[in-house]
Structure 1
Amino acid sequence: MDYRNYNDNELVSFVEENHENARDILFEKYRPLIVGTANKMHRSCKYNGLEINDLIQEGFLGLSNAITHYNENKDTSFYTFAKTCIERRMISLIISTKRLKHKILNESLSLEGSDDDSSNVGLEIFLGDTNNNPENVLLYNETKIELINNIKSRLTDFEEQVFELKINNFNYREIAAILDRTPKAIDNALQRIKNKAREELSVKN
């Protein structure tokens, strides 16, 4: 069977039926996207000591996840879904690499000095000065992870990528470079995220 004659959705279906050759074709087909995305992101974060091959490897893991979890019944093409999964894996690696570098330099990212990396985020940049409202402070400290997940549910894919990078202390220039967008696009996204974050906080209150 020549799998090259089939579209992405058909190839994904073949993979589900344990046709490994179909997976190989998808990997070959999406290699240029993965390598191209890795090159763009690597130019912006190579100072962190991250190797481009590490990003490429994460990209293929993202593609593998996309193949496993794609639902063709949703209004998203496989290409769009795969691209999002690939970018998310690479961004997660960039974030974890930066965290490791900061740990080595004894620069904690934690707001309260917690050892739990899941709480090492700066939500105050989106929610404003919570210190003026005791109820907000209590909510912020007790339900931080839940709040992050709820905020993410309100965001577009692009906004979620910006959000992940910003709460992990990447600046505008770094985010723009990693996502290959203009600083203005990042600024606009951050303003939308701030509004959605505050809306989520008001719902909780």
Structure 2
Amino acid sequence: MAAETHNNRMESYPDQQLAALVRDGDPDAFLELTSRYMTLIRAKAAPFHGTMLEADDLCQEGLLGLLDAVRSFREDGGASFRTYAGTCITNRIIMAYRWAAGRKNLPLNNFVPLNEEGTSCGAFAGEEVNPEKMLVEEEDLHLLKQFISRGLSKMERQVLMLYLGGYSYKEIADSLRITSKAADNALQRVRRKLKEPF
């Protein structure tokens, strides 16, 4: 019951506050934040449907972009969290597309920055890019992607993606042809697994 109250309270938190809670290790804050951004992730991924990447892969890349935004957002950076997250999500999806297309080694002068300052996601105007920090963040994002694809059962992944897409337990149950209780149990297992180090 306390967890339910905690989750309901999070619905009223602004995105920046949820991002801070995620940085402090609160997995429920990440679920709430991603449920808000799943529609945006799908919209950013839509132009790449029908390419060599599957829709689930594009959504996973978008989630990783959101996680990157959570980790690197600064309130004094001059952009709202939503604007910054949108840029990070887009950049992540584009990078995945370029990699999948076999063009991951394009020279940097062919890269078109998506934000006004001409900096990549995670780097602010006047801030030097730290290669070591970028490598650590890339490894963390890789671990999250592995966790989603390998650490969760097929049903848990399906329930998570539908939940993040804004579906109710009943809609999830109807879509997957399971009971609402089974959908709830799967989501509780996902939450427990997210609390474990991966």
TM-score, normalised relative to structure 1 = 0.48
TM-score, normalised relative to structure 2 = 0.50
Structure possessing the higher radius of gyration over alpha carbons: 1
Structure with higher helix content = 1
